[in-house]
A and B are shown apart, each in its own frame.
Chain A
Amino acid sequence: MRIYALLILPLPLLIVVGYLLPTLGVLGWSLSLPKVGLQNYATILDSAAIQTVIWRTLRICLLTTVISVAIAYLIAFRWRFASARGRLLIELFVLLPFWLSMLIRAFAWLVLLRNDGLVNQSLMGLGLVDEPLALVRNELGALIGMVHFMVPYAVLPLLSSMRQVDDSLLRASSSLGAGRWQTLREVFLPLTLPGVAAASATVFVFSLGCFVTPALLGGGKAAMLAESIYIQMFQLSNWGLGAALSIVLMAMVAVCAVVFGKLVGFGRFTGRQA
């Protein structure tokens, strides 16, 4: 049996070589470039510009999480009570976006939402607005693109969580006199809350690192942390500060993971009951 344990060795090895060592290297840069010390972290604390970006990142990610998980909950709910055929259809539409490049999706939104795009032309044609709404090339545009990107990631943990809800519990609830709304609120919802937490954590963590979508749909007006790191590293060759920002981003992800772990347990990520 012991020999089989060796078979999982590539995974920890990959993690050490591919993640741990480079991460330590980045940490080293943040503390040693251009000179040894904490000055890069002091810059982050001092710079109003950087803090604006950090707060904007948190704000956009939080909004993305709330909206994506709400939409995903509705989709997953519909799936839970659909026929086999209906389930297949929903699964197909949830998975379909995974096959499209992030870049193509961002450009599609740009075409739809820009001033003379389909959405604005329809609204103006119907006489609902007089001049085009600013739907893209701002924070709203970034938000729309990110929500669209994240919904499938939120649906998957919710599906697994809703599948585990035993039908007999719902029947028991109604046989005890609860209406549909009460059953939903007092039985179904609490049972699926761990799924909501898993979906939220997944979406929030993924959103933190978003680069392409906010860069394209934000029109330079919604720069997030990932773009700032790119600018420091490649535009300004300011590796120390870029590395320090990366560490801050990583710390934010770690905090989310720990909070999530405390709340519902890490087992949720792997689909096991915690």
Chain B
Amino acid sequence: MKDKQRFIDDAVEIAQQRVEAGTLSRRSFNQLLMVMAAAAGMGPLRHAFADSASVVVANWGGDAVPAFEKSFAGFNAASGLKLLIDGSGPTEGAVKTQVNSGAVRWDVCDGEMYSSYRLGKEGVLTPIDYSVVDKSLIGYGDIHDFGLANYTYSYVIGFDAKKFGKNPPKSWADFWDVKKYPGKRTLYKWMSANLECALLADGVPADQLYPLDVDRALRKIEELMPHVVTHWSTGAESQQLLRDGEVSMGQMWHTRAELVKQDTGGAIDWTFDNAIVAPSVWFVPKNNPAGAANAMKFIAYALRPEVQAKLMEVYNMGPVDSKANSLLSPELQRINPTSPENLGKQVSMNNLWYADHYSETLDRYLALIGG
């Protein structure tokens, strides 16, 4: 159970979807093993995994592991450090366990932006050294003491183009309108962006979204519940639901939307109109094995515009700076969440709000969709 799978974990082929869903449980299993190892104080384990001449970057597994390996392949030549990708998932719980038990295994984590605020406040992260990391390279996304944007992604509307091709949905109001656009819906399970979509559908202007009116958002979600087949928890699932016609419209990551569009030869289409765009984040756990300096070296490297462009080329993860956009082919610019044209159509997620309200809101949200 997902578990939880995040945006970054994309599969390319249908066949991979089942295997990939398997990573969910493997990941949970890894986390459990790790908690147990940490609880038993097995600090020396980390030395088997990483020595000081390597940097371990944690992400969410699946295809995101080779994606990072490919995109950051030049890091070794640039720094002399070996790059290792660990796909076991830097959830808040996992990071806290490692730091508090003194068995830190990760140098840099690709996590949730709100987690970086929360963990920073709890004192388990190393501050980012902005004399090494050039924050002027970030044009879009959060920059704060304990984390900074590393790539971007969007929650877009994917839809059945055979049904709605002549008059495609353009907003979350359309997404909620089951009379005008009949058929079932699917949304992301872990709440992110759902509250924003609901409020936009309910007529809240985009510039007045925050602080989020949770009661109103949950009421609006409740209204749609009879039409929601399921809340997907893996990106592959969101693709499958649209491809197999189980839903006529889905809220999904732009990477998945593009994949299912290609898979179906355009029978499924999607749009950046009214989409919710969000940055992911780099953060560094306290007492990371390779040392803070090496972690900063990696972050500085990963921010280079040509490396950002590479990440977009390899797995369609959007650059954090619009300057990297000009390095992309026209085809990739079309699906880049932070190209100036696309950014103008979308609404930005405010992760500071999530940092303060995630726990209590998630409880209420899960109770609603679980009821």
Chain A residues at the B interface, C-beta cutoff of 8 Å: 22, 25, 47-49, 52-53, 103, 107, 114-116, 137, 211-212, 215-216, 219-223, 227, 230-231, 233-239
Q: Which of A137, A219, A234 has the most CB of B within 10 A?
A: A234
Taken residue by residue from 232 to 253, chain B's Cβ proximity to chain A (1 for < 8 Å, 0 otherwise) reads as 0100000000001110000000
On whether the beta carbons of A221 and B370 are closer than 8 Å, the reply is yes
List of A residues within 8 angstroms of B3 by Cβ? 215, 230
On whether the beta carbons of A215 and B244 are closer than 8 Å, the reply is no
Interface footprint category on B: 35 or more
On whether the beta carbons of B1 and A216 are closer than 8 Å, the reply is yes
In the assembled complex, 27 residue pairs joining A and B whose CB atoms fall closer than 8 Å, in A order, are A22-B39, A47-B363, A48-B367, A103-B21, A103-B22, A107-B21, A114-B244, A115-B184, A115-B229, A115-B246, A116-B246, A212-B1, A220-B369, A221-B370, A222-B370, A227-B1, A230-B1, A234-B4, A234-B31, A234-B91, A235-B4, A235-B92, A235-B362, A236-B93, A236-B358, A236-B362, A237-B96
- Chain A: CB-nearest residue to B363: A49
B285 to chain A, nearest CB (A): 13
Residue B73 at the chain A interface, CB threshold 8 Å: no
Taken residue by residue from 127 to 169, chain B's Cβ proximity to chain A (1 for < 8 Å, 0 otherwise) reads as 0000000000000000000000000000000000000000000
Given known pairs A212-B25, A235-B91, the reply for A219 and B229 (CB within 8 Å) is yes
B71 to chain A, nearest CB (A): 27
List of A residues within 8 angstroms of B92 by Cβ? 234-237
Residue B231 at the chain A interface, CB threshold 8 Å: yes
Given known pairs A137-B229, A223-B366, the reply for A215 and B94 (CB within 8 Å) is no
On whether the beta carbons of B370 and A223 are closer than 8 Å, the reply is yes
B237 to chain A, nearest CB (A): 10
Residue B189 at the chain A interface, CB threshold 8 Å: yes
List of A residues within 8 angstroms of B367 by Cβ? 48-49, 52
List of A residues within 8 angstroms of B229 by Cβ? 115, 137, 219
Residue B2 at the chain A interface, CB threshold 8 Å: yes
List of B residues within 8 angstroms of A22 by Cβ? 36, 39
A237 to B355, CA, bound (A): 13
Taken residue by residue from 332 to 361, chain B's Cβ proximity to chain A (1 for < 8 Å, 0 otherwise) reads as 000000000000000000000000001100
On whether the beta carbons of A237 and B91 are closer than 8 Å, the reply is yes
Our pick among A107, A114, A231 for the contact of B18 (Cβ within 8 Å) is A107
Chain B residues at the A interface, C-beta cutoff of 8 Å: 1-4, 18, 21-22, 25, 28, 31, 36, 39, 91-94, 96, 184, 189-190, 229-231, 233, 244-246, 358-359, 362-364, 366-367, 369-371
A221 to B229, CA, bound (A): 10
List of B residues within 8 angstroms of A115 by Cβ? 184, 229, 246
At the interface, is chain A mostly helix, strand, loop or mixed? Answer: helix
A22 to B231, CA, bound (A): 34
At the interface, is chain B mostly helix, strand, loop or mixed? Answer: helix
A107 to B18, CA, bound (A): 8
On whether the beta carbons of A215 and B2 are closer than 8 Å, the reply is yes
B239 to chain A, nearest CB (A): 14
A220 to B369, CA, bound (A): 7
Our pick among A114, A216, A220, A233 for the contact of B370 (Cβ within 8 Å) is A220
List of B residues within 8 angstroms of A238 by Cβ? 359
On whether the beta carbons of B25 and A221 are closer than 8 Å, the reply is no
Our pick among B22, B233, B244 for the contact of A116 (Cβ within 8 Å) is B244
List of A residues within 8 angstroms of B244 by Cβ? 114, 116
- Chain B: CB-nearest residue to A56: B370
Given known pairs A103-B21, A211-B1, A235-B362, the reply for A230 and B91 (CB within 8 Å) is no
A52 to chain B, nearest CB (A): 7
A239 to B38, CA, bound (A): 14
B3 to chain A, nearest CB (A): 7
List of B residues within 8 angstroms of A107 by Cβ? 18, 21
Q: Which of A212, A227, A235, A238 has the most CB of B within 10 A?
A: A235
A205 to B365, CA, bound (A): 29
On whether the beta carbons of B359 and A219 are closer than 8 Å, the reply is no
On whether the beta carbons of A233 and B364 are closer than 8 Å, the reply is no
On whether the beta carbons of B94 and A234 are closer than 8 Å, the reply is yes
- Chain B: CB-nearest residue to A236: B359
- Chain B: CB-nearest residue to A242: B93
List of B residues within 8 angstroms of A220 by Cβ? 189, 230-231, 233, 366, 369-370
List of B residues within 8 angstroms of A234 by Cβ? 4, 28, 31, 91-94
Given known pairs A103-B21, A235-B190, the reply for A53 and B370 (CB within 8 Å) is yes
List of B residues within 8 angstroms of A236 by Cβ? 92-93, 358-359, 362-363
6 smallest CB-CB distances across A and B, nearest first, come from A215-B1, A49-B367, A219-B230, A237-B92, A237-B93, A137-B230
List of B residues within 8 angstroms of A215 by Cβ? 1-3
- Chain A: CB-nearest residue to B184: A115
List of A residues within 8 angstroms of B363 by Cβ? 47, 49, 236
List of A residues within 8 angstroms of B31 by Cβ? 234
A235 to B31, CA, bound (A): 12
B228 to chain A, nearest CB (A): 9
B292 to chain A, nearest CB (A): 22
List of B residues within 8 angstroms of A211 by Cβ? 1
- Chain A: CB-nearest residue to B118: A237
- Chain B: CB-nearest residue to A104: B18
- Chain A: CB-nearest residue to B94: A234
On whether the beta carbons of A231 and B366 are closer than 8 Å, the reply is yes
B329 to chain A, nearest CB (A): 37
A115 to B370, CA, bound (A): 20
Given known pairs A219-B230, A227-B1, the reply for A114 and B246 (CB within 8 Å) is yes
A47 to B92, CA, bound (A): 23
A234 to B370, CA, bound (A): 18
